[in-house]
Every structure is written in C-alpha cells, then in structure tokens.
Amino acid sequence: MTNKYRYEELTWPEVREAVAADCVCVLPVGTVEQHGPHLPLVTDVLTATEMSRRAVERMPGEALLLPSVYYSFNEHHLDFPGTIAVEGETIVRYVRDIGRSLAHHGFRKILLVNGHGSNVPFLDVAARYITNQTEAICAMVSWWSLIPRELLSKLRESEFPGGMAHGCELETSVLLYLRGDLVQFEKAEKDINFQKTEYFYWDLSAPSPVVFQEWFSRYSRTGTVGDPTKASREKGEQFVEAVTERMVNLLREFRDRTIEPRVDHH
C-alpha cells in the first residue's frame, strides 16, 4: 500500500489497492468569491482543502484527498468583482457525478468537506443522491462546525450574532495562519450592519432560525460580514489544529461505520 494520499497522484493499480484498504474519499468543496477587501477570492477553497489535507496526511492508508471543487453556487455575491457563480443544480450534479465515479470504482465512504456557507443545501442534496443511487455512503461536513464549542467561546472576541460570518474574525484568523501572505490585514474592516432581528441574522457559529439569503450587497458595504479586526494568526492556528484533529476522528468513525443492508418491505 502506497503512502501517497493525493488521489490524482495514484496509478490505477494503486486505486484498486486503496479500495481494498477501505480508504475514505475526502472531497473538499469551496467557492471562488469576494471575501472583503482583505482576503483572496480563493478563501473557501483554501480553508476546506488545507484542513482536509492536514487530516488525510495524518492517516496514510486510511483516507484519500480528492482534487478540490473550486467553483460553486454564490450568485448573491455577484455585485462584487471577482465572484464566479455556478447554478445550484449544476453543483449538485457535478458533485454527485464525482461520487458516482468513486462508488463505481468500489469506494464505499465519501466525505464532502465544505468551505462555503451557501454550499450547504446543495452538498446535502448531492450527498443524498450519492448515498441513494450508489453502493457508497456520502456525508458532508462544514469545517467550522468541527470547532469545539469551548474553544470557540474561549477565543471569540467579536459580537454574536454577526462577528463570524464572512471574511470575519474566524476566516481571517484561519487565513492568517494558513496563508498569511494572502491577507491584507491593514484593509480589514468591521462590517456588521445587517438588520439584526430575532429571526434573521448571519453567523457561522450558530444559524439563525430562518433560512434566508439575500443579495450580499444589500447588507454589506465592504463585502465582509463580521469583525476581521479581531482576527489573529494564533487563533487561526488553534482553530485549524482543533478542526484537523476532529476531522481525523470523524474520518476514522466514518471508515468504521457499518453499511447496513436495505430492507424492501413491499
């Protein structure tokens, strides 16, 4: 069994070995979109990919890292230059087809690692299609939901709700740690000016009761929602380490999961 963990670097006999070893396939999915004046367009690809890579690297022979999906659904960001928007139906089919191919080759566990809030409904549907239409099972996790609650409340300085939403304290901290060279921190600006009500708000740490996404430019002047001025490289390191550790545990649990037989009750 090879120590290589990047799917695209394997040969076909090595893929056959990886299937025999019950490797979990990890597919990072991001998006290419504006992240305020201080973060690069690639932010959501970079975070999902790098956290997945760090986890998979720690478990050779147990998991494989697939090439990332860069483009996805984000048309609500199109008022800002740079955003590349793909229709929701397209992203669902595209990810489903990747999963179908993996299942066709014999892989039975596929984990989608999400880096972009608005991917959630589409990746949820894609994962269900893969699970329903193939022999494999497919699940999805957004990296920020793997941050332990205690760590989040210990490190968080920005207000709730709003401080951690987009190009925020959380994403900027993680980028400062992973690719500080791409962060223009002097341009980071607090922007929490949306209509904050009981049922409508934005924050990555806890969703508002109502699911709603309107044009980003209606509630953000800078392209940021959150307080990136509270970000630091040190926080980023702790977030990334904690997420990586939990992702390793999650992947092991998923790999060990029994796929129970279906029962046709007709």
CB-CB neighbours of 250 under 10 Å: 18
* Closer residue to Zn ion in complex, CB, 86/102: 86
Told to check if 33 binds Zn ion by CB under 5 A, we report no
Smallest distance, Zn ion to C-beta of residue 33, A: 8
Of 30, 1, 34, 36, give the one whose Cα is nearest residue 15.
Answer: 1
Smallest distance, Zn ion to C-beta of residue 106, A: 34
* Closer residue to Zn ion in complex, CB, 83/244: 83
Q: The tokens of 16 are what?
A: 């056959």
Binding segment for Zn ion (CB under 5 A), chosen from 40-48, 77-85, 156-164, 179-187, is 40-48
* Closer residue to Zn ion in complex, CB, 99/167: 167
Q: Give residue number: closest CB to Zn ion.
A: 44
- x/- mask, Zn ion, residues 103-142, rule CB under 5 A, reads ----------------------------------------
Told to check if 50 binds Zn ion by CB under 5 A, we report no
**Cα separation of 190 and 186, whole Å?**
12
Smallest distance, Zn ion to C-beta of residue 50, A: 13
| Nearby residues of 251 by Cβ (< 8 Å), 6 or more positions away | 24, 26, 55, 56, 59, 62, 63, 111
* Closer residue to Zn ion in complex, CB, 43/158: 43
Q: Which amino acid is at 24?
A: V
Told to check if 44 binds Zn ion by CB under 5 A, we report yes
Smallest distance, Zn ion to C-beta of residue 61, A: 32
| Nearby residues of 20 by Cβ (< 8 Å), 6 or more positions away | none
Beta bridge partners of 85: 72
Smallest distance, Zn ion to C-beta of residue 174, A: 9
Smallest distance, Zn ion to C-beta of residue 116, A: 6
# residues contacting Zn ion (CB under 5 A)? 2
Q: DSSP of 158-197, one letter per residue?
A: S-TTTSEEES-HHHHHHHHHHHGGG--GGG---B--S---
Of 183, 171, 164, give the one whose Cα is nearest residue 225.
Answer: 164
**Cα separation of 261 and 42, whole Å?**
41
* Closer residue to Zn ion in complex, CB, 107/144: 144
* Closer residue to Zn ion in complex, CB, 43/205: 43
* Closer residue to Zn ion in complex, CB, 24/140: 140
Contact residues for Zn ion (CB under 5 A)? 43-44
